[in-house]
Copies of this chain bind each other. A is one copy, B any other.
Amino acid sequence: MIRIVIVGFGNVAYHLISAFAKSDAVTVIQVYARNKANLNHLQDHYDVTNEIDKLVDADLYIITVSDNAITEVSLQLNFKSKLVVHTSGTVSMNDLNSNNRRGVFYPLQTFSKLKEVNFSTVPICIEAENTKDHKLLEAIAKSISNQVFEINSTQRKAVHVSAVFVCNFVNHLYKIGNDICNENNIPFDILNPLITETAHKVLTLSPIEAQTGPAIRNDSTTINEHLNFLTNQNQKEIYKILTKSIIDHGKKL
């Protein structure tokens, strides 16, 4: 069994630990969190600690703390020449302390503690400094997911920026749709089939082929009616900039 220590306990760690629990190839032997109280429910099954200098010997240390703490935490590790990876979409592999062998294990998915995730379909982007470590990360990734990609630090940043557009920003547009429905006494779930179909369409059509609506038709009457309908300045601004972007860039060249 490949022995793993998880460092940090946020949404990514929570879902990774669940996924590893189902894997036959790896075992989580310790979990570290600054605030041990967050880990009370894990104490029956895992060795948990809030002391960074008491991490046990392992084949892999996965740092899952927030992006701006990754370098600092990697500098606090009091061992060297071991394999240490982070799970961030943005942070470069080289931002890890070079005392240890470095790598990245980035699961490309949106994680909320309230929603279970089927890890077998989650793309895992891996990167390592040498072939042997790359193979180890690949074996670990394949033990929990069917989609494993070799992605370097520059590409990973591109993947992460794209993910912000297709996930975080998309979800915020759902939030605006929800607000407009609430203000007009319409159940938000009237939009569910549309939300689902919009996502499913781009599995088979390109986004350019899938584009519909007043902007792509350059239907200024409807666009102006919508802008008159919206009273919230923030919603109006977002409507304007995205409509202009569709008109200018939404079609095939």
Contact = CB atoms under 8 A, between A and B. Distances in A.
B195 A166 contact: yes
Interface of A: 11, 66-68, 90, 108-112, 114-115, 117, 121-123, 125, 147, 149, 151, 154-155, 157-178, 180-181, 183-186, 189-217, 219, 221-222, 225-226, 229-230, 234-235, 237-239, 241-242, 245-246, 248-250
Given A164-B239, A238-B241, A171 B112 contact: no
Contacts of A110: 194, 197-198, 201, 210, 212-213
Instruction: Tell me how many chains of this kind the complex includes.
Output: 2
Nearest to A175: B207
B246 A242 contact: no
20 contacts: A67-B214, A108-B190, A108-B193, A110-B212, A112-B205, A123-B194, A125-B190, A157-B226, A158-B180, A159-B186, A161-B230, A165-B235, A165-B238, A170-B174, A171-B210, A172-B245, A178-B207, A192-B202, A199-B200, A234-B249
Nearest to A225: B90
Contacts of A108: 190-191, 193-194
Nearest to A209: B114
Given A168-B246, A190-B159, A229-B157, A202 B219 contact: no
Contacts of A214: 67, 90, 164, 168
Given A90-B226, A165-B173, A191-B162, A210 B157 contact: no
